[in-house]
Amino acid sequence: MASGTPVGQSGNTFTYRSTAPVASYATTLAVGRYRKLAATGPRGIPVTTWYRAKDAQYLPMFKRSPAFLTWLEERFGPYPFDSTGLVMVESNSAMETQQMVTLGEVQPARGDQMFDLTTLHEYAHHWFGDAVTLTDWRDMWLNEGWALYVQKLYEKDRYGLSDAELVKSSRQRDGELRKEYGPPSKPDRAEFGATNVYTCGAAMLRQLHQALIDAWLDSPTTPPETGPLPR
């Protein structure tokens, strides 16, 4: 299994193709005895989950991918690629590998809510991090800040996280993380990928959302016709 869209098999050779550019860090390859779960996402997008026999207990979770993609499309426009899905691997982490999210086996074991938030986060990266990617690693906050903020919006929508709770926790952690790891656009080199590039960026985006979008929605004047507003 690999990132991209499967286009055929000849003997022991499997071919995957992407019609869009792919950043090298956003590719994946998994080899093993996999089972296939095929589904259809919004606008007919093929959604494929590759799982091992021991992962079968989590099939109800895996079947939520089309719903995640629908939620994301309603807010950020069409999914940017030709296909998508998940591949389960022996890992503790998850990664936004383009068109085929790499999901560590511990993720579904953490329970329904954490599985949903983690998987939604990785799918969100296909808009923020994959379709639009960074120039160098100092810009990592643009990937992770956006994906975490989208995750928090989903948590508000589906799991009852209040805006007050989001703002309070973000402000507190922002100061702590900047002190420990540096500002998100100039982090401590020894702490690559630390939480500051996630939380501090997401906190800034919440402030921009509040200042630009919420203020616009609350305005007594009618906004210009510019298409759907972010939620």
Assess if residue 174 is contained within a domain.
yes
Q: How far apart are CA 175 and CA 160, in angstroms?
A: 25
Instruction: For residues 109 and 176, state if they share a domain.
Output: no
Assess if residue 52 is contained within a domain.
yes
- For residue 39, the model assigns a pLDDT of 98
Instruction: For residues 143 and 190, state if they share a domain.
Output: yes
End-of-domain residue from the set 124, 154, 184:
124
- For residue 145, the model assigns a pLDDT of 95
- For residue 84, the model assigns a pLDDT of 96
Per-residue pLDDT tens digits of the chain, which is 231 residues long: 999 998 999 998 999 999 999 989 999 999 999 999 999 999 999 999 999 999 999 999 999 999 999 999 999 999 999 999 999 999 999 999 999 999 999 999 999 999 999 999 999 999 999 998 888 889 999 999 999 999 999 999 999 999 888 888 888 899 899 999 999 988 888 888 999 999 999 999 988 888 887 666 666 555 555 554 444
- For residue 163, the model assigns a pLDDT of 86
Show the domain range for 65: 30-124
End-of-domain residue from the set 96, 124, 152:
124
In whole angstroms, how far apart are CA 10 and each of 6, 13, 183?
12, 5, 50
pTM for the full predicted model: 0.90
Q: How many domains would you assign to the chain?
A: 2
User: CATH code at 88?
Assistant: 1.10.390.10
End-of-domain residue from the set 70, 92, 124:
124
Assess if residue 228 is contained within a domain.
no
